[in-house]
């Protein structure tokens, strides 16, 4: 877990601190498949700006998630260029909008913040390419490598009772 101690920097209102940090992020698991961030750790730029009412935190980074394609299970890479911003009020009180979940005791949890930023930007499906044909539902072959069609319809005997209902009474 990568954290940043805000006590290590001394800022007055209106001042800003920029620092390059390397953030360790655990792989993401989607639909039972693991997607690893590359590079690991992720290089990121952290910007801390002190305002009169609180602190503005910004994180910018590029990451590639590597894992299986949702359709054909071949290797897929998803390239993301991300920016995130959080705010921590000097006196947040009970208002959840004025505090960030990633800050506790002046320690900023960069790993959790980075992981959630990635998760929020994920598409519905991670594909090896936009026009991926996937796997054949009948024989399981990769349709990108071997496009084909099956001439005859295969009947599964387990569905025979339901098929007789569809065909009507005999």
State how beta strands 103-104 and 107-109 pair.
antiparallel
Mean pLDDT taken over the chain:
90
Q: What pLDDT, on a 0 to 100 scale, did the predictor assign at position 6? A: 92
Residue 48 has pLDDT above 90, yes or no: yes
Q: What pLDDT, on a 0 to 100 scale, did the predictor assign at position 22? A: 97
Q: What pLDDT, on a 0 to 100 scale, did the predictor assign at position 168? A: 67
More confident residue, 12 or 45: 45
E strands in the chain: 3-5, 16-23, 28-30, 33-38, 42-51, 54-68, 75-89, 103-104, 107-109
Whole-structure pTM value: 0.81
Q: Is 114 exposed, middle or buried (0-12, 13-18, 19+ CB in 10 A)?
A: buried
More confident residue, 110 or 1: 110
Least confident of 74-88, 118-132, 138-152: 138-152
Tokens, residue 71: 């359709």
Q: What pLDDT, on a 0 to 100 scale, did the predictor assign at position 170? A: 56
- Binning pLDDT at 50, 70 and 90, where does residue 115 land? very high
| Sequence ranges of the domains in the chain | 3-132
Question: What is the rounded average pLDDT of the residues 146-154?
Answer: 79
């Amino acid at each position: 877990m990568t954290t940043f101690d805000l006590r290590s920097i001394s800022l007055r209102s209106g001042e800003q601190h920029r620092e390059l940090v390397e953030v360790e992020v655990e792989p993401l698991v989607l639909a039972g498949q693991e997607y690893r961030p590359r590079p690991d750790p992720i290089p990121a730029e952290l910007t801390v700006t002190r305002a009169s009412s609180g602190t503005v935190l910004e994180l910018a980074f590029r990451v590639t998630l590597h894992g299986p394609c949702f359709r054909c299970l071949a290797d897929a890479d998803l390239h993301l260029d991300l920016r995130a911003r959080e705010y921590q009020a000097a006196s947040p009180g009970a208002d959840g909008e004025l505090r960030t979940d990633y800050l506790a005791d002046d320690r900023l949890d960069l790993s959790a913040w980075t992981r959630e930023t990635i998760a929020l930007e994920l598409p519905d499906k991670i594909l090896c390419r936009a026009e991926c044909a996937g796997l054949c539902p009948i024989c399981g072959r990769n349709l990108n490598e071997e496009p084909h069609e099956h001439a005859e319809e295969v009947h599964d005997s387990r569905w025979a009772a339901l098929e007789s209902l569809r065909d009507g009474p005999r």
